[in-house]
Amino acid sequence: MPSIAKVIVDTPAMTVDRPFDYLIPQQWQTVIQPGMRVAVPFGPRQLLGFVVAVADVSDVTDITKLKSVTELFDVRPVLTPEMLALGEWMAQDSLNFRISIFQTMLPNLMRGSYEKYVVLKNWENTAAVALFEGAETLDWQTVQASPHVHNVQKWVSEGDLATVYRVSSKETKKTKRALKNCLTTAALLAAVEAVGSKAKAQQKALYQLIDLGESECFVDEFKQAGVSDTTIRTLEAKGYLTVFQKEVDRDPYAGVAFEPSEPLLLTAQQQQVYERIYAVQQAGVTKTFLLHGVTGSGKTEIYLQTIAQALAAGKQAIMLVPEIALTPQMVNRFKGRFGEKVAVLHSALSAGERLDEWQKIERQEASIVVGARSAIFAPLTNIGLIIIDEEHEATYKQEDYPRYHARDIALWRADYHNCPVVLGSATPNVESFARAAKGVYELVQLPERINQQPLPLVEVVDLKDEQRAGNNSSFSRVLLEKIKDRHQKGEQTVLMLNRRGFASFVMCRDCGFVPECPHCSITLTYHKRGHQLKCHYCGHQAPMPPTCPSCQSPHIRQYGTGTQKIEEELLELLPSIRIIRMDVDTTTRKGSHEKLLRAFGNKEADVLLGTQMIAKGLDFANITLVGVLNGDTALNVPDFRAAERTFQLLTQVSGRAGRHHLIGEVIVQTFNPDHYSIQLAKYQNYIGFYNHEMQLRKLTGYPPYYLTTLVQVSSTDERKGEQTMAQIVQFLKRELGEQTILLGPTPAPIAKINNRYRYQCLIKYKIEPALRETLRRVLESYQKEIRNGLSVSIDFEPYMMM
Ligand code: ADP
Ligand code: ZN
Ligand code: ZN
């Protein structure tokens, strides 16, 4: 009998990132399984830990030194064997701490303390009923310490008992009035006789109770069949049924009507793609498809139909979309096709809602998971298909610990389950397309829009010409004309202001002084609300100075362009135009994003003005004009992916116009009209862009020709940071191959954040078998320095080089 638990404890540190042995107390020896959470003594503290294995013997020689597991948090493992294996792989592949990985795999609420109860499901299990001694619930704290814990576990797995989480007061479960019957079917039939045929309403209700059998139902649902409150009260008084408060799963999309949808008859193009994927599904093998299809070419319909195939084969599916594309429109399409089988994981869910969705998946009540990045860890156990839509999006890479790319996790899980992965995009990541070109992925394509609708006409406007003509407004003459025209015709316009690496800042016109954050090497951003200057990195705030702090001139004012300012400018030019503004300021409240989109869809505004968050998922028939106010700002970012991001963004946003029967038009305003990313986006020429970009990547030695890893050091002590980075580079030079290129040490592009000085080195390599081991040693040797305010971070295939 296993008497040793191997436990990863909740301390994210290199030195303890390995399993520790603990004795399993007698009463839990048949209960504890890998994947369960326990509490264990660790030094002077009690820590949460994950059991990763159980064993009969310990590797520790002096077993009397071992301490015991003190608490058991789970009846059933919360991490499957697959998740444990995946965690181990992630730890080795990206040098993440095991504990951070396991916690990322679970909803937030499972990381901390919460209460858990056991409830009765099957009243016929008399032994279980006895355990409750008449109480409605049993406190898990008590159960786990009792001699019955083994039986409780067995009954939970057999469905006679269930566990429920009760989360902190703020997050209490919503409850609704529900009812269940108190009599056996035979007794109910007798009651039908007893109330007699005159009491039609009661008889009807009684028949309904008979149908209900042993299940419970909400009073609302019961009433929908035509039973009145009075009747329910009468039956309750007679002791036929009881009414009680029952928890409802908080459905974040409650109240949103899902239009049921049927599979569409695929076009010939779609059919070809579908058949390739279906063949792999049937063969039950692992294979990655890159689905390159222009916006509106019917990719989503293929996702829906291949998911249906997975379900038909008794399997499950994961569908990842970028966070901001997870709009009600998007969810609607999935719920409309698959209804209750869909669980949605969204960052705007409250912690409690997230837990509800997670449990729905874990209990196998949902077989399709639609969600953003972390949904890739959904606890499905029989995956038949994984889809990543808009696969080029940078949001699939998690930038905090644990660092991971959802695509890598998807490929790993697909390998585990022997199923296909579909990566879909109108503008695939250059590295993904290169993999498809080499045959590592299978390329499938949808080159045309459904019904051969033409792609929108794109016109590039040179802002230098506008300035020369004396137009200093944010709107070129042609864009303004077209907005007016659409306004008159009652058609809608989408305006995008690209804010990546760009925000409205304040400058003194006389001396050029620009206020910076005192803690970060970043200019402060002006916010009209409260007349404040804010730092977007550390949150520092200061009032807008009335005069220049440097030369006292009163001519200090806002430069650059924020969405607020654009809105004011447009209203000045066209006073009667109705504008909906969508940016971080207007969408921080939960559900506000959806509300704004719905309002725009209902034609409550003529113009939707927003940051790049509007570039995705919008699908309204009435949009016939898209204006990009500053097409090139993404180019001015010190990052080898700058051109790729510009191309992707412009292509995406152009795709919002003319998706239905009306022809769309796009105006891109830029200071770099001749840049290849802008010229090729104009013709939506992905292949042209890919070829050009690949040549440049080859010349400059960037992915996919080279792999990259970013090492960053940050320290509260400037010199210490600089020296440490230099030491690390010295060490890397000695340990790594001669072909490997080290760019650095250099200060990071943002040299200071939150009073920490930042240095970096980019490693570029083709083959470097010793890389992970070498970097592990770097991390290990600087572990003890963390206390002195120094930290070292390592990012494989970085997406953020700032
Ligand atoms: P994408 O995901 O590539 O942007 P969608 O799947 O959203 O494309 O399809 C674009 C539009 O075409 C949608 O309104 C969709 O309902 C419609 N559509 C997709 N496939 C078909 C089809 N086979 N027949 C008719 N309409 C289709
Ligand atoms: Zn000044
Ligand atoms: Zn700051």
If asked whether residues 389 and 290 sit together in one domain, one would say: yes
Ligand 1 in contact with 297 (CB < 6 A)?
Answer: yes
Burial pattern 646-662, b for ≥16 Cβ within 10 A else e, equals bbbbbbbbbbbbbbeeb
- Domain-terminating residue out of 630, 663, 697: 697
The model's pTM: 0.80
Ligand 1 in contact with 450 (CB < 6 A)?
Answer: yes
Contact by Cβ (8 Å): 301, 270: yes
253 lies in some domain: no
3-class SS of residue 29: coil
Q: How far is it, in rounded angstroms, from Cα 507 to Cα 73?
A: 56
If asked whether residues 137 and 206 sit together in one domain, one would say: no
Looking at residue 139, what is its pLDDT?
83
If asked whether residues 21 and 139 sit together in one domain, one would say: no
If asked whether residues 432 and 300 sit together in one domain, one would say: yes
If asked whether residues 440 and 573 sit together in one domain, one would say: no
3-class SS of residue 753: strand
256 lies in some domain: no
Kindly identify the ligand whose nearest atom is closest to the C-alpha of 524: 3
Residue 144's H or E segment, with its range, is: helix 140-145
If asked whether residues 608 and 756 sit together in one domain, one would say: no
30 lies in some domain: yes
If asked whether residues 760 and 779 sit together in one domain, one would say: yes
801 lies in some domain: no
If asked whether residues 307 and 415 sit together in one domain, one would say: yes
Cα(548) to ligand 2 centroid in Å equals 5
Instruction: Number of helices (H) and strands (E) in the chain: give both, helices first.
Output: 25, 35
Please write down the HEC assignment for all residues of 298-348. Answer: CHHHHHHHHHHHHHHCCCEEEEECCHHHCCHHHHHHHHHHHHHHEEEECCC
Q: How far is it, in rounded angstroms, from Cα 222 to Cα 261?
A: 27
Torsion angle defined by CA atoms of residues 404, 405, 409 and 414, in that order, rounded to the nearest 10 degrees: -170
Here the tokens at position 373 are 């990045």
Contact by Cβ (8 Å): 441, 423: yes
For residue 303, give the ligand 1 atom closest to its CA: 6
If asked whether residues 430 and 510 sit together in one domain, one would say: no
Ion ligand 3 residues within 5 Å by Cβ = 517, 519-520, 535, 537-538, 540
Q: Which domain holds residue 548?
A: 505-559
Pairing of strands 137-139, 404-405: unpaired
Ligand 1 in contact with 94 (CB < 6 A)?
Answer: no
Kindly identify the ligand whose nearest atom is closest to the C-alpha of 554: 2
Residue 794's H or E segment, with its range, is: strand 790-796
If asked whether residues 364 and 238 sit together in one domain, one would say: no
- Domain-terminating residue out of 103, 138, 160: 160
254 lies in some domain: no
For residue 446, give the ligand 1 atom closest to its CA: 3
If asked whether residues 222 and 134 sit together in one domain, one would say: no
**Sequence-separated (6 or more) residues with CB below 8 Å from residue 272:** 444
* Number of compact structural domains in the chain: 7
Looking at residue 782, what is its pLDDT?
87
262 lies in some domain: no
257 lies in some domain: no
Residue 248's H or E segment, with its range, is: strand 241-248
Cα(523) to ligand 2 centroid in Å equals 15
Q: From the first residue on, what is the mean pLDDT of each consecutive set of 10 residues in the chain (802 residues)?
A: 89 87 91 93 88 90 85 89 97 93 88 71 84 82 82 85 62 69 80 81 84 78 79 86 75 64 93 97 96 91 97 97 77 90 83 85 93 95 97 90 95 98 96 97 93 81 89 91 94 83 67 80 75 77 89 80 82 93 68 78 90 71 87 71 89 75 84 90 92 93 92 93 94 93 87 89 92 92 82 90 72
If asked whether residues 408 and 367 sit together in one domain, one would say: yes
Ligand 1 in contact with 295 (CB < 6 A)?
Answer: yes
Q: In Å, how far are 7, 23, 42, 52 from 65, measured between CA atoms?
A: 16, 10, 13, 20
Looking at residue 774, what is its pLDDT?
95
263 lies in some domain: no
Contact by Cβ (8 Å): 759, 722: yes
Ligand 1 in contact with 655 (CB < 6 A)?
Answer: no
In 3D space, the residue among 329, 600, 613 whose CA is nearest the CA of residue 491 turns out to be 600
